[in-house]
Structure 1
């Protein structure tokens, strides 16, 4: 057998099917890789080696990914008998006695789950530096962040621990780390992936679950395994005309693509503009029509209604945490920023949240109008290259002021400052949230690396229920401009 890292997930499954490898052998290769590189990365925070070894010794099931090593994100995904902390110190002792529906479907797909990956507290941030576990580092540069909130998952895949890992996306949390780590990341349409039994919707419908992977075909095949409605789901979306794997294998028709090369209110780093320009050139070579367009929605409106949801949902998370702990929440139970965001949410009125949700619908109308003319929207995934560890954290002076206000109960005095800091952070990631609010599928494709050797992804957004269009194009781009051979240099 060639090197474990040379294969994508379907390739590993094929080795098992042909008898060239066993699940136990692949699991031991994954564990060995994890033990070699994870001390530097801090991507895997909960090893589940012995449970996985027991599973790997069983005869492999007849499933697409039978025997393939896999990692779960430590957020939302309940695995019976394994800790689920959601990135929060106060939840470190929680061990669910059930599987979430998504985990049940991952298991049915045949994967061997051997660990859980790092995530920011409650998945709130676009970087992965929780106080409970410490920062995850980017395999391409250990001084840089892999992004978030699926930062641990992306770092693990980029480092060759696994070829594919679970992720979730509420504002770019699959696509941001995919971009920062040189991976493929797809956020499915709203309602495509189950969130039960604990949730019908998360973040008012903004969150969708999925995977990050090195190959497009892995994402497509896993989407076939995990997609579909569950009993009582609030959203039921039409299934694909064929399988997602089949759609990925078919060349796309000539597409009309609107591309954003600059925005009036958000600076775009030259590296990110270069990534979009290179992608547009490649698309032209492949026969597609690419036309520069203005951002087809009001970005200020998007940011305002997204942050309203963000504050309100954080407050809801903290109310849930208090109920779960069976006592009033104390300041030290969560990180300062989480506490402050929750306090911001508690100050919102019902009308504020309702108004913001109506504005979501206006964004969906704007994108619906855009798709009457264009098949896809092309943007950078991010407005800047990967940030350094600690770069987006609250500055010390402001943190001290926030801590004082949190203690004294004067958070209203700093509302403007908090909002401004949030806007500064979101200015680096302004393009991903729209698909979460509108429910559209969107993907980050690793087509560019800057002069410093850091990955720069480009994002494509399709009309709702058009994952087939995205996957078909992604496979075409992957064939024309392969990326799997590009690997960070690690131990």
Structure 2
């Protein structure tokens, strides 16, 4: 098999060839490694290769849904026993940190028969919506190398879009599956709170706001991997009801006529690009042509208040992570990026009362979405406010850096959270990605579907949010959209 043939298959398609003995797993692995060696120097998508370990684990009699299919893990909480991980940070890269246990989600993925050939680039602790860690450098977008892939699952997105692997591990705590899916023209589903497992180190991440799944080219690969990985385990906080049918079987069924609300307004009052508007308008027209009812309306939620409540929790989580790594691995302040230190400093000073208030507000947002979904089946939004930013474009303004360093030096960085500058920081950080946090805070499933490319051939996804536990409905609609407007031919336009 040549690469030109390899890249035309999704994961299930390649596995079928292995099952039918038309190709062997080692041949697929060799193709993936060759593609990585050819394009990864340009992309910086794979930061920790495990090629030799993958070769050693090859099993000629490999079984499973994805038998022999090349696969990547994300270098963040997707630990693989015996393999170095950095979580995108010099604090762990320099140690180095060697995983002692394989994460529960990785075990479930590995049970499908995938061949794990490395860990993908991620921002430090996944705290940013772009992938530009100081530890590894920027991850470049296959559609145009001047642009970023988004984050925090940026390395996985780049590798899938570039044809190194057909699917890859990802996670989403504030949009980290949907953002890179939007920027890289992929399908990205964030499952409902509790749908996929964490463990063994913790039972849930950020009160269930963060979930793990995959980035894929095809809807069916996402559905099949969710079939293989969903459900609680010994480390889970609670049990979520299993679907009545497999997700893979559900996507073969045409969805009912849906009533879909949509909005193109930024929830935090920031600018939305003409491309993002065009992407949603195109999707709305496509939905109408399929017989669905599309109505412009949005839930009664103060988006800026939600963003602040989200970031207070996000910052506090970052503070906890930094403290843990300092305690367990002897990391020093200079081992962390300045932005991480600022975020951690603000998070460390969030009071218990403010933290509880933010979580109570999370519940109110969930209630409002439950009421909203009494009238609508789905909610359509841009996945991102624009196509991908250029590398280096999303960064702390130069004038802020000396101020932040000075505040850190005198242990007053937390004062930023109580100043007028905080709202500026919120808007400046989320203006690129103001649409994704709603699904994380409320624990609802959401997806980015690649239906739009602009005149410069840069993609921008359309995001759908569904009621709790309705991944099947999202996947059904995505399959219908994929059949109506196939996006697989778009990947042939990538030239690296």
Query: For the superposition of Structure 1 and Structure 2, which TM-score range results when normalised by the shorter chain?
Result: over 0.9
User: Are 2:254 and 1:251 equivalent residues in the alignment?
Assistant: yes
| CA shift in 2, pair 1:369/1:295, >3 Å | closer
Given that 2:197 and 2:235 are in contact with CA atoms closer than 8 Å, whether structure 1 keeps it comes out as no
Match of 1:51 in 2: 53
Match of 2:157 in 1: 154
Match of 1:489 in 2: 494
Match of 1:475 in 2: 479
CA-CA distance at 1:404 after TM superposition: 1.9
CA-CA distance at 1:282 after TM superposition: 0.4
* Partners of 1:60 and 1:302 in 2: CA distance: 50
User: Are 2:467 and 1:466 equivalent residues in the alignment?
Assistant: no
CA-CA distance at 1:232 after TM superposition: 4.0
Match of 1:448 in 2: 452
Match of 2:438 in 1: 434
Aligned residues: 488
Match of 1:6 in 2: 8
Instruction: Please give the secondary structure, in 2, of the residue aligned with 1:323.
Output: helix
- Bigger Cα displacement from structure 2, 313-322 vs 26-35: 313-322
Aligned residue among 224, 240, 244 for 1:241: 244
Instruction: Please give the secondary structure, in 1, of the residue aligned with 2:251.
Output: helix
Unmatched 5+ stretches in structure 2: none
1:453-482 CA-to-partner distances (Å, cap 9, x unmatched) read 100100000000000000000000000001
Match of 2:312 in 1: 308
CA-CA distance at 1:13 after TM superposition: 0.2
CA-CA distance at 1:60 after TM superposition: 3.3
Given that 1:72 and 1:165 are in contact with CA atoms closer than 8 Å, whether structure 2 keeps it comes out as yes
1:52-78 CA-to-partner distances (Å, cap 9, x unmatched) read 01122x223321001100000000011
1:263-317 CA-to-partner distances (Å, cap 9, x unmatched) read 4723221110111010000001101110111344220221111011011111111
Instruction: Please give the secondary structure, in 1, of the residue aligned with 2:193.
Output: coil
Given that 1:48 and 1:113 are in contact with CA atoms closer than 8 Å, whether structure 2 keeps it comes out as yes
CA-CA distance at 1:418 after TM superposition: 4.9
Aligned residue among 73, 94, 97 for 1:94: 97
User: Are 2:84 and 1:83 equivalent residues in the alignment?
Assistant: yes
Given that 2:308 and 2:426 are in contact with CA atoms closer than 8 Å, whether structure 1 keeps it comes out as no
* Partners of 1:39 and 1:299 in 2: CA distance: 40
* Partners of 1:251 and 1:294 in 2: CA distance: 26
Map 1:32-431 → 2, pairs under 5 A: 32-56=34-58, 58-92=59-93, 93-263=96-266, 265-325=269-329, 327=330, 329-415=331-417, 416=419, 417-431=421-435
CA-CA distance at 1:490 after TM superposition: 2.6
* Partners of 2:158 and 2:175 in 1: CA distance: 16
Given that 1:154 and 1:165 are in contact with CA atoms closer than 8 Å, whether structure 2 keeps it comes out as yes
Q: CA RMSD in A?
A: 1.2
Instruction: Please give the secondary structure, in 2, of the residue aligned with 1:211.
Output: strand
User: Are 2:458 and 1:457 equivalent residues in the alignment?
Assistant: no
Match of 2:28 in 1: 26
Instruction: Please give the secondary structure, in 2, of the residue aligned with 1:229.
Output: coil
Instruction: Please give the secondary structure, in 1, of the residue aligned with 2:244.
Output: coil
Using the size of structure 1 for normalisation, the TM-score is 0.97
Given that 2:224 and 2:248 are in contact with CA atoms closer than 8 Å, whether structure 1 keeps it comes out as yes
| CA shift in 2, pair 1:301/1:440, >3 Å | same
CA-CA distance at 1:330 after TM superposition: 2.3
Instruction: Please give the secondary structure, in 2, of the residue aligned with 1:359.
Output: helix
1:109-144 CA-to-partner distances (Å, cap 9, x unmatched) read 110001100000000000000000000010111111
1:315-343 CA-to-partner distances (Å, cap 9, x unmatched) read 11111112221x4x522121011011111
Given that 1:260 and 1:295 are in contact with CA atoms closer than 8 Å, whether structure 2 keeps it comes out as no
CA-CA distance at 1:96 after TM superposition: 1.2
